[in-house]
Amino acid sequence: PFLFSQSQPINARSWVPLQDTPRARITFDAEIKVPKGMRAVMSAMNHGDAPLEGIFHFEMEKPIPTHLLAIAVGDLHFGAIGPRTGVYAEPQILSAAVKEFEDTEKMVEIAESLLGPYAWGRYDMLVLPPSFPFGGMENPRLAFMTPTLIAGDKSLVSTVAHELAHSWTGNLVSNATWRDLWLNEGFTTYFTNRIVEAVYGKELAELEVVLEYGRLKEELISMPLTSQTLPANVQAGDPNDAFNRFTYDKASMFVHELEHRLGRADFDRFLFDYVNHFAFQAITTETFVEYAKSTLLTQYGDKLTEAELQEWVYGTGMPSWFVPPTSNSLEKVDHLRTAWLAGEPLNKANTGDWRVHHWQYFLNSLPEVLDQQALIDLDTCFDFSRSTNAEIACDWYRVAIRNQYDPVLPFVEAYLIKIGRGKFVRPLYNELLLAGYQQEVRSIYQKARGGYHPSLSVHLDKQLLG
């Protein structure tokens, strides 16, 4: 048995009667009764040594947005990472999770050096079942994490850095409405990159920004132009639709440009002051714009104009002067991909120093159409269909499906049955439909649906069964 909540964006009202808006901050205390032997945890102070006698008490004395109210119950064990960090997980994956996330305490220290003291006491994480529909959820004192992050080589732990970064940008300074989500996710995506750079080096940080922009480019093509602004146009629609690449990656590109314009030292002072000025408050896009006018434009008017600020925030698409991010580390990938497409072999010898991010870039930059022999060669050499890295597997499956490489279908089915993370599941079903695999989609979905979270299956039902 395993129970877990997902309150963001407007689901807290489904289990607690409250005014469910990020503008309304709450404190809470709770008494949770569970079967003996089970452990309950919440977005509050948890104790890994609490006896499993069936009753747990919690208190969150600091005001939090309602969507950060969280609870989980299961056969949960605790593994310490540092004096204020640790992992809750089921026993069979606990040691792997502790090893994968062992840099978390260092991440907290780096984050504090940038934005000030960590305000929440402890930063613990909970590894959820594969049905958890997201990469992570920044519930204070108990961040939720997907098990797909446990790759064995720390290649995907930037999500840990992302949820940690929310402790300042999102949990401390919050978006007042879901229209203003970019204030939460854009600054957090940028801040994540700074943590990754400090812990894992500049090369990895640059690679992640390039991949971010790659995701954004896909939505620049598919998203209606009127929706390509930082404030999400969801006032009359579903707040879930606010979670797109514009509120994350376009907003992050904006923050990166602010750093570039001001210089890192001056921008860091602005960011520190911004977070501390609005700590424990929920703000709107307009509040930020006015604050930027009184600080950035006053102090650095020679580096940023009001027109440029307005264009970034309210303009559609990307500003005309925007320069896409690059990484010198990707030149070797471009060179080998070009050579491979021209007929030269690609093998483990000449790709031995590639990181996971290089492979993601390679797979995402392949031509739309590849012949069957090229796909066979890639799969035979690198065994992509059996990849244990969820990101690489998903990217490969998309390439294979659109080129109707049928040997991949059993692996795609097993993947879609095992994993319920929306980031992977939705695009794979879309690719299958576009490639003409309607019958296979219905068969797979009937087997997989029971393992998906309701927030995912309710949308997939309309798409796949309607």
Q: Residue 31 forms beta bridges with which residues?
A: 57
* Token duo for residue 344: 């030269």
Going from the C-alpha of 377 to that of each of 341, 343, 368, the distances in angstroms are 12, 12, 17
What is 302-315 written as a DSSP string?
Answer: TT--HHHHHHHHH-
Strands 71-74 and 85-89 come out as unpaired
**Residue linked to tokens 């159409």:** 369
Among residues 2, 156, 160, 5, which one has the least CA distance to residue 77? 2
Distance CA 162, CA 137 (A): 9
Q: Of 118, 248, 445, 452, which one is the catalytic site residue?
A: 248
Distance CA 33, CA 56 (A): 7
DSSP letter, residue 169: B
Q: Is 361 a catalytic residue?
A: no
In terms of phi and psi (left: phi > 0; alpha: psi -120 to 50; beta: otherwise), the region of 386 is alpha
CA 304 to chain centre: 29
Distance CA 438, CA 432 (A): 7
* Token duo for residue 288: 């930020």
Distance CA 374, CA 405 (A): 10
* Token duo for residue 298: 């006053």
Going from the C-alpha of 249 to that of each of 158, 192, 202, 371, 398, the distances in angstroms are 15, 12, 19, 33, 21
Count of alpha carbons within 13 Å of 223, Cβ hemisphere only? Answer: 25
Strands 71-74 and 2-4 come out as antiparallel
Distance CA 340, CA 198 (A): 34
Between CA 104 and CA 108, with CA 107 as vertex, the angle to 5 degrees is 95
DSSP letter, residue 317: S
Cβ–Cβ < 8 Å for 27, 62: yes
Q: Is 163 a catalytic residue?
A: yes
Residues in the chain: 466
Longest dimension (CA), the chain: 66
Residues 6+ apart with CB under 8 A from 134: 6, 144, 146, 421, 422, 423
CA 297 to chain centre: 31
Q: Of 100, 138, 163, 185, which one is the catalytic site residue?
A: 163
Q: Which amino acid is at 421?
A: R
Kindly list the catalytic residues: 163, 248
